[in-house]
Each structure stands twice: as C-alpha cells, then as structure tokens.
Amino acid sequence: MQLTLWTYEGPPHVGAMRIATAMEGLHYVLHAPQGDTYADLLFTMIERRDRRPPVTYTTFQARDLGGDTAGLFQDACRAAYERFRPEAMIVGASCTAELIQDDPGGLATTLGLPIPVIALELPAYQKKENWGASETFYRLVRGLARPRAGDHVRGPRPTCNILGPTALGFRHRDDLLEIRRLLETIGVTVNVVAPLGARPSDIARLGEADFNVVLYPEIAEAAARYLEKAFGQPAVRTVPIGVGATRDFIAEVARVAGLPPLTAEAGSRLPWYSRSVDSTYLTGKRVFIFADGPHAVAAARVATTELAFDLVGIGTYSREFAREVRAVAAEHGIEALITDDYLEVEDQIAALRPELILGTQMERHIAKRLGIPCAVISAPVHVQDFPARQSPQMGFEGANVLFDTWVHPLMMGLEEHLLHMFRDDFEFNDRSGSHLGKAPAPAAPAAAVAAEPEPAAPSVVPATTRWDAGAENELRKIPFFVRGKARRNTERFALERGIATITLDTLYDAKAHFGR
Amino acid sequence: MTVHTLIAPRPAAGCAEDAVLRERGQREVFCGLTSIVWLHRKMQDAFFLVVGSRTCAHLIQSAAGVMIFAEPRFATAIMEERDLAGLTDANDELDRVVERLIARRPDIRLLFLVGSCPSEVIKLDLHRAARRLDGIFAPRVRVLNYSGSGIETTFTEGEDAALAAIVPQMPAAAPGAAPSLLVAGTLADVVEDQFRRLFDGLGIADVGFLPARRLADLPPVGPATQVLLAQPFLKDTARALEERGASLLSAPLPVGAEGTTRWLQAAATAFHVSRERFQNVTAAGEARAERAVRRHRAALEGRRVFLFPDSQIEIPVARFLAREMGMELIEVGTPYLHRGHLAAELALLPPGAAISEGQDVDRQLDRCRRAAPDLVVCGLGLANPLEAEGIATKWSIELIFTPIQGYEQAGDLAELFARPLARRQKLAV
C-alpha cells in the first residue's frame, strides 16, 4: 500500500479515456462501478469539451456482484452499439472490475458486433494514466492499421502521420497546430493525426504515410515502434520543444523524408530576446524542473542552453522516463528525483531553494507556498492549461511562449534594475510596491542580499537575538523587496552561530554566506 | 409569497402516492468517497484514509481540487499488486500506513478508514482493522471505519455512512436528562450558528449538531433526544440514532423560507414552544428570506426545470423551486428516494410532479431533450455538453458545496438558479 495524498497521474483507464475522447467514431465500454463516471468531468470541465466522453460505464453495484455482472457488461455493450453506432469499440475494466475478472474482451467478442472490438488489459494496480493511454493507442493501431496497398512509391511530397496528441493533453491542441504548420511549410504532407481527431478508419490508413512523427512519446512511442516493425515506417523522435530541439526536429524530418537540409525559422524570437541585454539578469538563475519525462528533458535543454539558467534540480513522476531524466541530471552533475510523491518534491525544492520552478500545477502550488516564481510546463492539466488563445509549447512559436511564460514570473528584468537603482529616490518609498504584490519577493537581481526564498513559516527568533543600531540602520538601506528576507536570513545566521547581537559585520557575514 | 407559520403537511396532497419511475442503468453520479470533500472541512480534527485504488485518489482530488490545501486531511492508501496477490498482509500494510500518518499529523483525533469499491470486493475487513488500530491509538486518536464505495453508496450516502459510524461514539445522555434537540447532517458553520441562535431564541437550549466540529464536542444522545434531519440522505444515521433511543421529528428540510419555517416549527412543536414566541423569533428571518427570494422570482416563475439525480437534495430543492419560485417541474431525479424521511417534502410537491429514482443516463438525457426545459440541474459531467446543445444548466454540486439552508441563504439558493438564465440574457456572443 502506498500512502498518497495527491497523485500526478490517474489510473490507466483514464488514459484509455483520453484516447477514446480524442477520437471520433470510437466508443469505450468500461466495466466499472458507479462513481467512476467522475472521469467524465475531467473532460467536460477541465478541457471544456462540448460533448460527453464516448464512454459507457456498466455501473455495477454490490447487489450485482453475486449475480450476473457479465450479463450487465454485455447488455451495456449492446446498448452502446445500438445507441452510438461507432466504427469500432474498445472494452475494458476499471480497477474494481479487474478484481471480479469478468473478461470484458471475451464477453464483447461473443456478442458478434459487426464492428472491430478491441480488448484492453490495463492492470490498474500496477500502471498509471500515461501507460494506459499508450497501451490503448498501441492496441488500436495494432488492431486497425493496415499496410499500404501495393509497393511503397514516394509521391512528390513526403507524407507523415503525427502521433500522440490526446484529449486532456498539456497543450496538445496548440502543439499540433504549430507542428502541422511547420511540417507543411517544409514540404511534408500530413496523412493522419492520431489519436486527436482521428476516426478508426483513419487509424486503418496510418500505413500509407512515409514516416511517423512521435510528438508525445509517453503516448505514441509504443505504437510508433509497432508501425516501424510492421510497416517499415521510420519515426521522427525529436520532441520539438525549444529552438534547438525544433531545429533538430526539422533536420531529422528532412533526413527521414529525404528532403534537402532546410531552415524555417520565421517568427522565432527566442534567440534574439535571449541575447538582448535586458535578459542578462537571467544568467545563472537557479531553476528546478519537475514534469512528465519528455517535458522535463526538453525543459532542461531550453532552460540551460537557450535562457542560460543553471539547473539545480530535475525530476519526473514518469517512471517510464527515469533513465532519460537521470541522464540529463548526470550532465548537470545533479541527481534526478524520480517520484510521484509531491511531498518529496516539495522537500527537495525547499532544500534547493531555486529561483524559478518549472513544474506541474502541483509545483505551482508548492511554489506559491514557498514564495518562488513558477511556470507550468507539464500535465497533470488544469483548466488554466486550456487557454482561449493559441499557446503551444512546441515549434518556434512554442519557444516564444516558453520565453514569455518562464521569464515573466521572474522579476521584470530591466524594470527591477531601475527599481533598485532609484531606491533612494524620494518618490520611491516602501508603499509604492513591486508589481509582484504582497507575495514574498523572489530574489532581486543586483541586490542579492542573502538572496533566497523565505521558508514557508517565519522562523522563530528567540528574544535573545537583537539588532544593534548600526545593523538596523544598514538594514533599512536594503531595498524593501528583499529586506524581509535579509532580516530573516541574518537572524537565522546569527541564531545558528549563537550570536546574540547582530552587528554590521553579522549582516554582511550573512550576506556573504547566503549570497552566491 | 407568504408562508404561514402554523403548519401541518397537507394530507395526501402532492405526489406522495404517485408512481415513481425507477431506472436502472448507467449512473452519472459520484460515489460516497466524494463526501469526504466537505466532511473533512466540517470535522476539523478528523482524517479520512481511503483504502482503495489510484482511481479513488484521483476521484477525490478531481472532485476537491485539493491542490489548494498544503496537506489535506484525507489521503488514499493505494492498494498495489502485491497487496492483492496476498504477498503482503494487508493488515500489516495498513498498520504501517496508519502509523506513518498519525506520526505525521499529531493534530488528528479521529481517523476514518474508508472502504472503497476494491476494498469491498476483496473483502478487506476494515471494521476489524479499525477496532485493532483503535485499541493501539485510543484514547489519543480514535479509529473508525465506514464504506464510501460506489458499489454501495452514491455521493451523499458517504456522509450518511460516516455519521452512522460516529453515532456509537456519542456519549449517552444522562438518565432522566431533559429533552434535547439533535440536528443531524452537515451544515456550513455559518448556517449552524444561525440555527443555534434561532433555537436559542425559541428557548430550546440543549441543541447538538452531528457531525460536531471536533470529536470532543460530540453531543450526547439518549431517549430524550429529538432528531431533526438537516439533510435528506441520512437513512443509516437516523436508524443508528433511533437505536440509541432518539426519536425522529418529521419535517421538510430547511430549504427556502417555507422549508426553514416548517423545519423550525417541527422542533418548536416538539419542545412546546408557544405560537407567539415562534412567530416572534422567526418572523424577521422569514420575511428577509421571502424578500430575498422574491427578487429572483420573476426570472424563474413559469420556467420549466429538469433535475438529474445527484445528492438526494433534489426533492427538497424541487419543492422550493415549485412553491417559492413558481417553477414547473418536468422531472425530479433522485439517486435514492427515502419515502419516510421525505414524507413531509413529498406532501408539498405539486400534484403530478414526475419523480425518478436511480438513473439510466442516456435515456434520461433523451427525456430531457424531448422536454426542452428552460433549466437543467445536473452534475458537471453533463453540464457543458447540455449547454453546448443550447440548454441552460445549474451544477447540482453547488447545492452541496455552498450553504443553502436556512432563512439567510434562501436568497442565495434562488440566485443559484437565476444566475445561469441571467447570464444567458446578458451574453451577446
């Protein structure tokens, strides 16, 4: 048993729902008790979908357990087919139904429905949401995809499938638009996008493309590997998050598609923005990353090579990607945190005291508690992750979005420099405040007086520690937005060393101790 | 509308005898675990440990949006493959998890082991486990159990199961104790305080609330205890209280001006409060409630409403919508209909109101679309899809998560239904 206060991933059948809901003409019959329908509202509320997920739940009850739950499942299958007339059906069990071992696949097959019925085995007590999505997509591809008719003749334009975007995916909608446009710009025709927006009949013609683009490996890698083996379709595996990765992606596509080397950087602003002098203050900002595997790996590259941050910590809740994330950590001489316990993540953040957190919605809350700026870079999704505007993470526009969303939470560059420069100006008083409002201010650039986030709770300073007049005076000269922090750090420094009276020296010793 | 304070439910009016449509099929409702979301806010020294699966954990966090809490007072002990395969003794595992939890949260006085679908199916005996752990940790921490599983409980029935598990822990009223009043069912603290003041005014001094905010504040119960239900879903809790000798007062629920007056009247009658005193104490609140409700009546009067089953509060709310807001009831769905507890409510429903119990969601959606209602009260899984079809909706979960009971909330309750219609009128996009 694992004590869980909050979990990054849902159960595997929710992953299957993300595939079914992404598609058209597919229906999922889920053997499940009442209550499991909660998952519908993830789609209708978080993603604001205008239709119910195409899922029928058998809703068995305690009194059915001694009786005929298998019959209940078959009735539900039949009724779902009659009502929704899908092109294909997937069937499976949620965690409770797994225990009663009714064999949904076998039961559905004996009904002899005139459509393909694909059975899912999603072990709910071992696996999680992303695995469930990946397995479901793989089973669908395996069950429905047909090899291309006749010999492979390349047309005038190479063709590809885009694999991986799902319902309830982190910016999948926007990434897809961006990458589709990019591929078409460089001369590649998109054959099928799947699962998002695909019908079972579209899955059937995956084999017609020259190659596959694996946009989200956590969803599509298993299917891509199958297509590679079964139909000889090569796969492009670079995840195009960030400028460098997008360039690599284009180069890989060109290579696989047999196109001449090309560039397509129109609209890419990150490189210049990052070289612009106002970005100087970003240099060496200490960043902590926690995300699903692919987003963590991609963010590490962008943060360090495109924004010149220092990576002080990295982790993932995707055990499937532990190896890749550990490799990135090793490059930066740190150890990766592989866990799905957010309390462990919180502990590590508190210990590392980063200046910026790139994480999930949970790390956003941790950041709020610790007073650290944060940007969200990964699922699990929140209603905020479905903005009305286009906001991709991938491609050159995605890199622009990353620049904005990662840099804005930090101090507003030049503005904060000026704030600091004019701190003695008579018009500048403590009431004028920073745009960061009342939140504990993050580390200020030039005034790195004991620059580190505050602990969540104010430290208790015994009455024995006091400030002498000189130190108190000097403290007042420190800009207000770091003064509280300087005071606390100095007091902590004094407390740890048994210093009863804080002098000018103590203040600057503390600054030297905590500063970089 | 004026509600007179001298009230006896009208005999045989309403639809008490009408046929109820019983449905069996896919239910678009939460399981009982969901009630942890409000129970843990109400019971401030209680911790709810669900023994279940990742689905249970995901359900509760999705329903509660728990990320806003630093460390919520609920958690899931997620069963894993080796727990099921018998490779580890589930009881040893549970002991380990509970020990860790209690060490981490010294502020906890009451720990619930909450059964789930998977724990019920594998027949994990949480009752015995709770007794064993209680033996270890009492008196510092009491350990109780109940089931919030979806195979046994629907949404609010989880609260019923939790409260029924607490009832045996209530102290026994002293022999020969004076009559006392017990209000059962979670109410928001602000509502509880309002009612306390009203009962005080009526001269009913000895009033207890179940659940209590803290374990140590559990009110006594005994043969002189009169129980007023503040929620409609307390089947097992009421039975457990009756087993402790308490007797149940029959009343509509304190929803709307009329419901609140009738509910208070039931207590006043049982405690022999004079008619004059009752009027003196309730008149101001009732008048305020009627004024507040009247503001929204124009928006709702004559409109046709369809209620999907969710929390069992549908019938009291439908009664309010019909009688105080002048709405026409197309269908009133409830996950479970307790005719005994709702007798006073059923008697007040307009004749011919169609009640359905249970659910076959696709068929119910068919009926709903055919009826083309002006407003649908439904869960969050259905709301946006119906809105996209052009049907105005009100989320039923707000009837549980926001304070709606009592005089001072009657206007808020009316506003909940008026808002979606008002919004549609304002929008020109």
B104-163 residue pLDDT tens: 899 999 999 999 999 999 999 999 999 999 999 999 999 999 999 999 999 999 999 999
- Whole-angstrom CA distances from A459 to A484, A493, A494, A510 are 12, 11, 12, 16
Q: What is the pLDDT of residue B68?
A: 56
Mean pLDDT throughout A443-472?
Answer: 53
Mean pLDDT of chain A: 89
Per cent of chain B over pLDDT 90 is 87
Burial class (CB in 10 A: 0-12, 13-18, 19+), A404: middle
Mean pLDDT of chain B: 93
User: What is the dihedral sign for C-alpha A80, A81, A84, A89?
Assistant: positive
Nearest to B100 by CA among A10, A343, A7: A343
For every residue of A447-504, DSSP letters joined together read --TT--PPPSS-----TT-EE-HHHHHHHHHS-HHHHHHHHHHHHHHHHHTT-SEE-H
Partner A contacted by B429 (CB < 8 A) = no
Q: At what angle do helices A12-22 and B54-64 cross, to 10 degrees?
A: 60
Q: What are phi and psi of B240, to 5 degrees?
A: -65, -40
pLDDT-wise least confident of A224-233, A382-391, A458-467, B336-345: A458-467
What Rg, from alpha-carbon coordinates, does chain A have?
27
Q: What is the pLDDT of residue B12?
A: 42
Q: What is the pLDDT of residue A459?
A: 41
Partner A contacted by B126 (CB < 8 A) = no
Quickly state the pLDDT bin for A439 (edges 50, 70, 90).
Answer: very low
Partner A contacted by B95 (CB < 8 A) = no
For every residue of B375-420, DSSP letters joined together read EEEE-HHHHHHHHHTT--EEETTHHHHS--BSHHHHHHHHHHHHHH
Residue A456 has pLDDT above 60, yes or no: no
Contacts of A99 in chain B (CB under 8 A): 84, 118, 121-122
Question: B395 versus A479: which is more confidently predicted?
Answer: B395
Q: Are B398 and B375 in contact (CB under 8 A)?
A: no
Residue A417 has pLDDT above 70, yes or no: no
Contacts of B357 in chain A (CB under 8 A): none
Provide the shortest C-alpha distance from residue A111 to chain B (in Å): 19
Provide the shortest C-alpha distance from residue A3 to chain B (in Å): 4
Provide the shortest C-alpha distance from residue A51 to chain B (in Å): 5
Contacts of A369 in chain B (CB under 8 A): 70
Q: Burial letters for A172-196: b for 16+ Cβ neighbours within 10 Å, e otherwise?
A: bbbbbbbbbebbeebbbebbbbbbb
Residue in A with minimal Cα distance to B59: A38
Catalytic residue annotation of A: 278
Provide the shortest C-alpha distance from residue A271 to chain B (in Å): 35
Q: Do A51 and B380 make contact, defined as CB atoms within 8 angstroms?
A: no
A351-372 residue pLDDT tens: 998 999 999 999 999 998 888 8
Q: Do B385 and A96 make contact, defined as CB atoms within 8 angstroms?
A: no
| Cα gap B365→B398, rounded to integer Å | 21
Partner A contacted by B253 (CB < 8 A) = no
Q: Do B72 and A6 make contact, defined as CB atoms within 8 angstroms?
A: yes
* Interface A:B, Cβ pairs < 8 A: 182
Q: What is the pLDDT of residue A436?
A: 45
Provide the shortest C-alpha distance from residue B43 to chain A (in Å): 18
Residue A452 has pLDDT above 60, yes or no: no
Residue A423 has pLDDT above 60, yes or no: no
Partner A contacted by B383 (CB < 8 A) = yes
Residue with tokens 């999705």: B62
Q: Do A62 and B151 make contact, defined as CB atoms within 8 angstroms?
A: yes
Greatest CA separation for chain A? 89
Nearest to A29 by CA among A96, A66, A84: A84
Quickly state the pLDDT bin for A242 (edges 50, 70, 90).
Answer: very high
Q: What is the pLDDT of residue A177?
A: 98
Mean pLDDT throughout A267-296?
Answer: 94
Q: What is the pLDDT of residue B375?
A: 98
Q: Do B151 and A33 make contact, defined as CB atoms within 8 angstroms?
A: yes
Quickly state the pLDDT bin for A413 (edges 50, 70, 90).
Answer: very low
Cis ω before B139 (30° cut-off from 0): yes
Q: What is the pLDDT of residue A424?
A: 57
B334: left (phi over 0), alpha (psi -120 to 50) or beta: beta
Residue in B with minimal Cα distance to A364: B67
- Whole-angstrom CA distances from A13 to A32, A57, A117, B33 are 10, 12, 16, 19
Q: Are A420 and A287 in contact (CB under 8 A)?
A: no
Q: Do A35 and B54 make contact, defined as CB atoms within 8 angstroms?
A: no
Q: Do B149 and A99 make contact, defined as CB atoms within 8 angstroms?
A: no
Contacts of B383 in chain A (CB under 8 A): 44-45
For residue B14, how many C-alpha atoms fall within 13 Å in the half-sphere facing its CB? 21
Quickly state the pLDDT bin for A427 (edges 50, 70, 90).
Answer: low
B367-424 residue pLDDT tens: 999 999 999 999 999 999 999 999 999 999 999 989 999 999 999 999 999 999 999 9
Residue A422 has pLDDT above 80, yes or no: no
Burial class (CB in 10 A: 0-12, 13-18, 19+), B369: middle
Disruptive mutation site among A41, A75, A317, A370 for chain B (greatest number of B CBs within 10 Å): A41
Per cent of chain B over pLDDT 70 is 94
- A300: tokens are 């590490």
A295-345 residue pLDDT tens: 999 999 999 999 999 999 999 999 999 999 999 999 999 999 999 999 899
Disruptive mutation site among A4, A46, A56, A319 for chain B (greatest number of B CBs within 10 Å): A4
Residues in chain A: 516
Disruptive mutation site among B87, B92, B99, B151 for chain A (greatest number of A CBs within 10 Å): B151
Cis ω before A380 (30° cut-off from 0): yes
Q: Which of B30, B83, B388 is facing A1, going by the closest CB pair?
A: B83
Q: What are phi and psi of A354, to 5 degrees?
A: -70, 165
A145-203 residue pLDDT tens: 999 887 767 778 999 999 999 999 999 999 999 999 999 999 999 999 999 999 999 99
B270-281 residue pLDDT tens: 999 999 999 999
Residue in B with minimal Cα distance to A43: B381
Per cent of chain A over pLDDT 90 is 72
Residue in B with minimal Cα distance to A37: B28
Quickly state the pLDDT bin for A387 (edges 50, 70, 90).
Answer: very high
Q: Which of A9, A35, A44 is facing B150, going by the closest CB pair?
A: A35
Contacts of B123 in chain A (CB under 8 A): none
| Cα gap A254→A187, rounded to integer Å | 9
Q: Do A61 and B34 make contact, defined as CB atoms within 8 angstroms?
A: no
In sequence order, which residues have a C-beta less than 8 Å from that of residue A454 and are 6 or more positions away? A370, A371, A440, A484, A485, A488
Disruptive mutation site among B55, B387, B395 for chain A (greatest number of A CBs within 10 Å): B55
Contacts of B77 in chain A (CB under 8 A): 1-4
Q: What is the pLDDT of residue B194?
A: 97
Nearest to A398 by CA among A246, A200, A216, A185: A246
Mean pLDDT throughout B204-223?
Answer: 96
- Whole-angstrom CA distances from B66 to A6, A7, B35, B63, B72 are 8, 10, 13, 8, 7
Which 3 state secondary structure label does DSSP give B358? strand
Residue with tokens 């728990």: B66
Q: Are A493 and A507 in contact (CB under 8 A)?
A: no
Residue B5 has pLDDT above 90, yes or no: no
Q: Do B121 and A99 make contact, defined as CB atoms within 8 angstroms?
A: yes
Provide the shortest C-alpha distance from residue A350 to chain B (in Å): 14
Residue B7 has pLDDT above 50, yes or no: no
